[in-house]
Structure 1
Amino acid sequence: MTSTEARATWVTRAVPYLPLGLIAALGASLAYVVRLPCRTGGWNDQVTTYTNFCYTDIYPLYFDRELATQNPYFAAVPFDKQVEYPVVLGEVMQVISWISRALEPDRVAQAVRFYDLTVVLLGVSLVIGVLLMAAVAGPTRRWDALWYAISPAVVLAAYINWDLVAGALSMGMLLAWKQQRQVLAGVLLGLAIATKFYPLMFVGALFLLTLRTARWRPFLVTSAAAAGAWLAVNLPFMIFAWDGWRRFYVFSEERGVDWGSAWLFFQNKGWPVLGSGDVSVLGMASLVILCAGIAVLTLAAPRRPRLAQICFLALAAFMMTNKVWSPQFVLWLVPLAVLARPNWKPLVLWQLAEIWYFVAIWLYLVGQSPLDRDDLGIGDDTYFTAVWGRIITIGIMMAFVVRDILRPEKDAVRQAGLDDQTGGVFDGAPDRFTLAALVR
């Protein structure tokens, strides 16, 4: 094939993705518009921030983590001023802060510029993530990526935190795995875990399907590459900035129950056992139980589950048992929920619940101390309807995915004649180990 023919082939393949990229760019732009009331001065007043639903971590953390003056990992700053994120994300913040300081002499102007530059990065990450998701879904289901590109919950949550960076890396990992490029998949997975911790749940999904299919070499290569990539970016900080590096892990362990979590409801109601004690232990025990159920399901299903189905169930279990469930966590789950079960009815129900939670959390915070604006906010009971709305709707989606696994003929993806469009080496692989075979 000549270079001209190769270029023509590439263009032919890329053209169908262009509309998705443009729609994702529109979603990224709408997410910026949502926060304009804050960008023009609202961040300096919490009441204005909450009642305009335009809160973001990006602007205040520029000051609170002293990004304006020093590297938060290496500088001798108080423990509560260190960046509580894994190192890839922390250094992304640091690099953008350097650029902001070079462009603006005034600290307030620097913080606004820091926000703008971060939003550019996140908007690009959203576009890339959407295009990668479309490639993962395959030609017949490419348009399912619209859910990630422009769904209201994604637009509202896009710029609360830096989660879209990890989302792009995660979708890149799934695409590399689909194309059986295990080393690249592992590198992207390692970088994703070093950006946000939740992609670690994908390792368990890969392991379970490897156990069922006995495709061990690809799994081991990917795991080794992931561990190598994670160590490559973490080891310098572990050696030269131990206190700054461990901040994320100490914070995750010591953090109390926070907004959005079901555990907060139990504490609020004063329920024994569930509302007291070490919630870290309770959350971990609950997660282990759910993951054990997912493992049994994977190995007992009449037909090997699809990779996206197991990734979705594992990640949903992680979110539902966590001590905190921030509004932006919806960005973690949207691509996997759509890949696992592209049925619009439960997805719409869940999106409505996420929108209601997005509104409820800010109105609830308005009424809490130190603001105590009961005239503008909502009370406990109204807020917890939003908390349980998310839990119940995600639980409904999980139940449908479980049904699809137990009754593969109900799976919309497999009804289209596919086996596992995300599976890579698992696609079409025969069973080598199942619980039924073990019993026999």
Structure 2
Amino acid sequence: MTSPAPALSRVLGGPMGRHARPTGTWFRPAPFAFLTLTVSWLIVMVRQVPCRSSSDQYLPWMCYSDIPILYYWRGLKDGLVPFLQTDLEYPVLTGAFMEFCRRLVVFLGGKSEPGLSSDEVAHATNLFFGINAVLLFVLMGVLIWAHLRMSRPWDALMIAASPAILTAGLVNWDALVLAMTGLAILAWSRRKPFWAGFWLGLGIAAKLYPLLLLVPLTVLCLRSSRFKALALAYLGTAASWVAVNLPVYLAAPEGWLNFWTFNADRGGDLGSIWYALSLIGIDIESVSRLEAALMVAGTIAICALLLLAPRRPRFAQGAFLIVTLFLVVNKVYSPQYVLWLLPLLVLARPRWTDWIAFSIAETAYFAAVWGHLDNQLSNGAGDHRLYVLAILVRIGVQLWICGRVVRDMFDPRRDIVRAGGLDDPDGGVLDEAPDAAWVTRLTRGLAAT
């Protein structure tokens, strides 16, 4: 199963003639993608209504969101500024986004100061959530726009129609990093490496995982001797990240460090393989060290695959593999992390069979985590097998898709993106780039053995 374009073409009157021009709304994916996203976002906002008037956020509505919770518990309701006056477990750009929304609350008539009544706090909290919902929708629109401008625009529908939007779209502020990462990949595909780095640096300043994309980018640029483009990407990344982080670090170094110490000190948490093992009685000591060791070993293996594959893999394939590795070995898998993988899956392997399997596994896990937190899966008896099974199935499907991506890398005839003789249409300077001489000698030597 591939792009929906052929099916839509049949519904709307069959394929175009040889001399026809693809004009008009019906021949463009953008209206369908944005309409689908809008409907999905309206549904996810309606799903939040019960949680605005009830404390039952886990079951049956499964409408939990960090947004109003952290507005209250991190002191934004009292007017405290993230990092400067209150600790925050997020990087700087996410904190800045939260502060911007808090100021919008005040601008729109809400109150954010100490000593407020419960009604005033409730009104400001709901206003804060509404403002975030609107802005995050705009950011999701930026992500869809970026994918519409890539080589396979119809695949943007796979993002807009994903159940992940319906389930996890408003759990946290992840639409911010998704937009920044989407713009980075788009800029790279347009052969603008500095701007790709610029957006990537902002993404890293919002959530840490976009940093991982530099790994496949580095290996593939070294393989094809694209040193100037790589240097410009690194320069853009460093420039934007430092520009955002340095002022906060200078003003409040302890507040800035809180994100790093929080993640370094935590143990195995919800959704992780480490948490699943602990639930069945297997306690792992020094989880952080083992996680780091597996991450290093896995990264080396992925770099070797990218370097030694007979034909240079596509950038999106490497990006999907490295982010999946991180999420599989990470100490936590929050429900919204599915959104990190979704755009990369669509770029790496845009097949509906993979999308369906991915969606089923992730949706099942989304339901399971709330059942686990609400003590419904175990019926209060401490039996966590269903939740552990949901974790293992989710990880198993992610690894299964990774295996299919690796198979495409070593047998490009299976790669739908490369159909028709294409190389890496969203690879920017990597597209049609020949291997460096030393790589050619290395791959030939390995093939000979």
TM-score (norm: length of structure 1): 0.89
- Equivalent residue, structure 2, for 1:92: 97
Q: Does 1:392 align with 2:400?
A: no
SS in 1 for 2:214: helix
- Equivalent residue, structure 2, for 1:381: 385
CA–CA distance in structure 2, aligned partners of residues 251 and 114 of structure 1: 25
- Equivalent residue, structure 2, for 1:107: 121
Question: 1:135-214 to 2 correspondence within 5 Å?
Answer: 135-136=149-150, 138=151, 141-214=152-225
Q: Which amino acid in the other structure matches residue 425 of structure 1? A: V
Q: Which amino acid in the other structure matches residue 435 of structure 2? A: D
Deviation at 1:346, TM superposition (A): 2.2
- Contact kept in structure 2, 1:287 and 1:318, CA below 8 Å: yes
CA–CA distance in structure 1, aligned partners of residues 362 and 165 of structure 2: 9
Deviation at 1:416, TM superposition (A): 3.5
Q: Does 1:74 align with 2:79?
A: no
Deviation at 1:295, TM superposition (A): 0.8
Deviation at 1:11, TM superposition (A): 10
The count of corresponding residues between Structure 1 and Structure 2 is: 413
Question: Which segments of 5 or more consecutive residues in structure 1 lack a partner in the other structure?
Answer: 1-8
Match of residue 296, structure 2, among 283, 288, 294? 288
Deviation at 1:304, TM superposition (A): 0.3
Alpha-carbon RMSD across the aligned residues, in angstroms, is: 2.2
Change (3 A) 1:375 1:168: same
Deviation at 1:143, TM superposition (A): 1.3
- Contact kept in structure 2, 1:366 and 1:377, CA below 8 Å: no
Match of residue 117, structure 1, among 120, 125, 131? 131
CA–CA distance in structure 2, aligned partners of residues 377 and 188 of structure 1: 48
Question: 1:38-437 to 2 correspondence within 5 Å?
Answer: 38-39=51-52, 41-42=53-54, 45=55, 47-68=56-77, 69-75=79-85, 77=86, 82-102=87-107, 103-105=109-111, 106-136=120-150, 138=151, 141-271=152-282, 275-367=283-375, 375=379, 379-432=383-436, 433-434=438-439, 435-436=442-443
Deviation at 1:235, TM superposition (A): 0.3
Q: Does 1:18 align with 2:31?
A: yes
Q: Deviations over 1:409-436 (max 9, x none)?
A: 1111112332112100000000004242
Q: Deviations over 1:157-181 (max 9, x none)?
A: 1000011110011010011001111
- Equivalent residue, structure 1, for 2:15: none
CA–CA distance in structure 1, aligned partners of residues 192 and 101 of structure 2: 31
Q: Which amino acid in the other structure matches residue 63 of structure 1? A: Y
CA–CA distance in structure 2, aligned partners of residues 400 and 318 of structure 1: 18
Change (3 A) 1:194 1:48: closer
CA–CA distance in structure 1, aligned partners of residues 387 and 219 of structure 2: 37
CA–CA distance in structure 2, aligned partners of residues 172 and 16 of structure 1: 19
- Contact kept in structure 2, 1:129 and 1:168, CA below 8 Å: yes
- Contact kept in structure 2, 1:363 and 1:376, CA below 8 Å: no
Farther-moved stretch of structure 1 (261-270 vs 243-252): 261-270
| Percent identical | 36
Change (3 A) 1:379 1:422: farther
- Contact kept in structure 2, 1:30 and 1:155, CA below 8 Å: yes
- Equivalent residue, structure 1, for 2:10: none
CA–CA distance in structure 2, aligned partners of residues 188 and 182 of structure 1: 10
- Contact kept in structure 2, 1:366 and 1:376, CA below 8 Å: no
SS in 2 for 1:51: coil
Change (3 A) 1:104 1:350: same
Change (3 A) 1:378 1:145: farther
CA–CA distance in structure 2, aligned partners of residues 361 and 114 of structure 1: 26
- Contact kept in structure 2, 1:363 and 1:378, CA below 8 Å: no
CA–CA distance in structure 1, aligned partners of residues 192 and 57 of structure 2: 48
Change (3 A) 1:217 1:377: farther
Q: Which amino acid in the other structure matches residue 289 of structure 1? A: A
- Contact kept in structure 2, 1:346 and 1:396, CA below 8 Å: no
SS in 2 for 1:194: helix
Farther-moved stretch of structure 1 (161-170 vs 16-25): 16-25
CA–CA distance in structure 2, aligned partners of residues 378 and 277 of structure 1: 22
TM-score (norm: length of structure 2): 0.88
- Contact kept in structure 1, 2:58 and 2:373, CA below 8 Å: no
Q: Which amino acid in the other structure matches residue 29 of structure 1? A: L
